[in-house]
Amino acid sequence: MQKSHQFSSTFGFLMAATGFAVGLGNIWRFPYITGENGGGAFVVVYLGCAIMIGIPILIAEILVGRRGRANPPKAMQNLAEAERRSPLWKHAGHLNLATAFVILGTYCVVTGWVLWYLFKAISTGFVDTTTSAAANDFGAVMQSIDGMLLWTALSLILTSTIIYFGVNKGIERSVRVLMPALFLLMISLVIYNAFQDGFLDAATYLFTPDFSKVTGATYLAAIGQAFFSIGVGMAGMMIFGSYLPQEVSITRSVLIIIVIDTAVALMAGLMIFPMVFRFGLDPAGGPGLIFQTLPVAFGLMPGGHMIAILFFTLLSVAAVTSMVGLLEPLVAWLEDTRDYSRHKSTLITIACIACLGVLSILSYNMLSQWHIGSRNLNGILDVLANQIMLPVGGLLIAIFAAWQVSKTSLRSELPAMPNAMFEVWHLLLRFLLPPAIAVIIITGLL
């Protein structure tokens, strides 16, 4: 592992990993998925999945990455061979890469929306935007193929530029300042909402569960959201683990990442749902929820023009840093398997993602009538990636770490973890999480 392919500090790793975890999954996806799945009951199930399933598997994924010291398939192969296990475990790493690729195909389009709305914030500040005008404006965005192509291309260019410069000069440098700034702005917006109408309704909606609304699909959506939000099973955390210096505590890092990630998701709910209830919008408003609520609020609040610019600037940062975490393992894999330069690997990967992004764009307009069952292409990709590939990828990581890697090897990577905690973690990975995840997947799909 070259020195240039390692994080220079614990803080750099934490900001990169948190930047990967904290992105549109928390601020864009969490609110509307919560709205579609009954509010408070979903939040309780989501938190349970994040704590009981997300933390143990995230520890395992970063551990496998650091011990394997390579891109995900190669890291799993290296570790399997070192433990005298089947090298076919590398295909679990290939599944993680495929998941990252599928997610990027739709994620880059949504990042393009964020950048487009940043431009709108700069040019108009959403002054006097009404609820109906915001809905119509978002509808116009969906129908503008040229506009979405332009802004999606910009999202890919920004992301590839960071990847192009490598780990230290690209990834680490870009997140050290920008991620703390995002956290501060989100806290400010939640505090602002606390003194406005709708905050109590939002808090009640988020934190008063109605468990009669919980179904098998709720659990599947919750585990998919937990994995999506934390970044488990999509190769990013494994590749960041491979760049992690040996002296950095994996356990402590994971706990910090989970606390920040969960706090940001809940803050996103307290930032968006007060506006939803204040302006009489539908909390189950789907992927466009954030783009149809915040412009109305920014247009009415004092200093809204500047706040809108700051918000969409930093949301753009969150979106791009998440794309960085998804793109990096794909580029690293191409570098290693084809012996291409980093620059060539970046360009080839971005070109492939752009092709899937074009199909995603067209499914909002020209191909909107093309369905399998009740879902269009984006709906199919969402179910495939977030409700099948992510949980299965997490399941394989748990099985691999618990059953294929010796306890001695695992313990050597987690020296700071107390013995009792290590035993509980290992027990969860071995006997409880695999059947629990399998049941959730099967029940949710049925």
pLDDT, one tens digit per residue, over 8-54 is 778 878 887 887 888 777 888 888 889 888 899 999 999 999 999 98
pLDDT for residue 423 is more than 50? yes
pLDDT at 125 over 50: yes
CATH of the domain at 150: 1.20.1740
Count of structural domains, the chain:
1
- Residue 5 pairs with which residues in a beta bridge? none
Which token pair is 260?
A: 């920040």
Mean pLDDT for 159-187 is 75
What is the extent of the structural domain holding 215?
3-445
Name the band, by pLDDT with cuts 50, 70 and 90, for residue 171.
Answer: low
CA distance 55 to 231: 11
**The model's pTM:** 0.90
Q: Residue 166's pLDDT is what?
A: 62
- Portion of the chain with pLDDT greater than 90, in percent: 51
pLDDT tens-place string over residues 218-244: 888 888 888 888 888 999 999 999 999
pLDDT score recorded for residue 174: 65
pLDDT greater than 50 at residue 2? no
Nearest to 334 by CA among 322, 343, 325: 343
Ramachandran class of 214: left when φ > 0, alpha when ψ lies in -120 to 50, beta otherwise: beta
What pLDDT, on a 0 to 100 scale, did the predictor assign at position 45? Answer: 93
How far from the centroid of its chain's Cα atoms is residue 224's Cα? Answer: 10
**Does the pLDDT at position 167 exceed 60?**
no
State the average pLDDT for the chain: 89
Residue whose C-alpha is closest to residue 233's, from 385, 410, 33, 413? 385
Q: What is the DSSP string of 259-279?
A: HHHHHHHHHHHHHHHHHHHHT
Q: Which residues lie across from 375 on neighbouring strands?
A: 372
pLDDT score recorded for residue 170: 55
Span 251-267, pLDDT tens digits: 999 999 999 889 988 99
CA distance linking residue 414 with residue 400, whole number of Å: 17
